[in-house]
Structure 1
């Protein structure tokens, strides 16, 4: 339930978190687009998909931000005081679910692409993961907007089933893929597995905040904070790890490319220090 009032501190918390997510998603997307030449062509699709994910998220957070500002207003002088719901306006929680319906399948695509698995295995993974991710989001939304805790419990439980299935498939396949990956990449992929569990696990926790003994404005603000932090971890940090995997695999696949990139990095470093590197 959307609270009827927010204190100044609660309003500022949500306002600043939404601003943080917009900045994080937007500039991560720009970085991933600019970084395309830093990996081999076979891995650029993964970076491009990751940039699209962050771009979609940035757009939706702009919409969420506008919806939040329209939904809560104050008559206090200087805009500092208690915020109440504006007549005829309401915070649109649906923007998050539209975003997730688009971005979660794409997050799975970028992971499968960057691992460069056999085409048959890639197709098998995507056929299993994408429908499950869409089902997870679709089942979560009715519970999100429900006014009844019982309905929220039911749909939360139903959406957990495809959620656990996705994590199981990803963990199993990521573990199997380690032996087929270059040694330099294995540690990063292992960390990616941990990030998947840690960041994706924040979403159900945030979803359950209203059912964990919190109520009113505190529960709503906590839920918004949880979703915002999870989106930064699951999209921005995840995208940067995808970039690191792509770069390390590019170095392992093509020593000449690695040598050229390392030479470029040394040239930049010497230019900054004013020292010339001999040819």
Structure 2
């Protein structure tokens, strides 16, 4: 649908600018989280690795979105509009779903790695929530791209919701319960991560439902693309930094308690919260 419409120059430019902004922000997040993994103890380092991988996969997806947006339309100087091109590489929202199929399960793992869940219970939650996340995205893709009629979108949207609701409730319950158990300084950051997840994940279903209430038009395509893109930045950049803050705070607590070693002093918000504890 997106690739068959005609866009004004300003509409086309806005979408392109949002894609480029998201790509840069996500790649910067990948570099930062990868470079700061050593600030975390081995116990919480998987959270940093998951966040870095999310940034890398998502930035690659936005590179593909950008290239397909550029190649999918030709500029008509006489009307200052962009028309569908004959290029093989057309713009498709399906590229987002390929990204989400990888990154959404990783978002759940990020939070679980810094939660208070341990042992078999933690492994079970990663398996169950990862599967729910993947199935939610896969069935949403069927409704948004493969069976993109009103009936198909409705049916597969409802099936996707069956996976979304238990995933959403369980993940938020885990975040807020763990935040209460952790207290200062890790608890507030984990609570903020949970709140960010709660509102960002609420935007995706709203954007999915736009075609039910509004006719296909360039304006609503631009609105949906901006909603998806800005929410991706919040859910993968902002959320990733909150999770990193939790992992760092928990590292400091473990070092202070003598439960783990760390080669350097640990700082949270420029305040030293634990001295270096070297291997004896």
**Smaller-chain TM-score range?**
0.7 to 0.9
CA offset at residue 200 of structure 1?
0.7
C-alpha offsets along residues 208-239 of structure 1, whole Å, 9 cap, x if unaligned? 12223253111211111111011111111111
1:258 Cα deviation from its structure 2 partner? 10
- What is the alpha-carbon distance in structure 2 between the residues aligned to residue 116 and residue 176 of structure 1? 8
- Bigger drift between 247-256 and 127-136 goes to 247-256
Report the TM-score, using the length of structure 2 for normalisation: 0.87
Rounded Cα–Cα distance in structure 2 between residues aligned with 1:235 and 1:162? 21
Q: Aligned runs of 1:123-272 on 2, under 5 Å?
A: 123-145=123-145, 146-255=147-256, 260-262=265-267
Q: Is the 8 A contact 2:71 2:87 kept in 1?
A: no
Say whether the 8 Å CA contact 1:210–1:220 is kept in structure 2.
no
Distance 2:195 2:244 in 1: 17
Pairs aligned (count): 264
SS at match of 2:185: helix
Structure 1 residues not aligned, in runs of 5+: 268-279
What residue number does 1:82 align with? 81
Secondary structure at the residue paired with 1:123? helix
Match of 1:49 in 2: 50
Secondary structure class of the residue paired with 2:86: coil
Unaligned runs of 5+ in 2: 273-280
Q: Deviation of residue 133 (structure 1)?
A: 0.8
TM-score by length of structure 1 reads 0.87
Aligned residue number for residue 20 of structure 1: 21
Structure of higher RCO (CA pairs closer than 8 Å, 6+ residues apart): 1
Match of 1:274 in 2: none
Change beyond 3 A, Cα 1:240–1:201 = same
The 1:180–1:258 alpha-carbon spacing in structure 2 relative to 1, beyond 3 Å, is farther
Instruction: Give the conservation status (yes or no) of the 8 Å contact 2:116–2:178.
Output: no
Coordinate RMSD, CA, aligned: 2.3
Q: Tell me what 1:103 maps to.
A: 103
Find the aligned partners of 2:197 and 2:167 in 1 and give their Cα distance: 10
- Asked if 2 retains the 8 angstrom alpha-carbon contact of 1:209 and 1:222, the reply is no
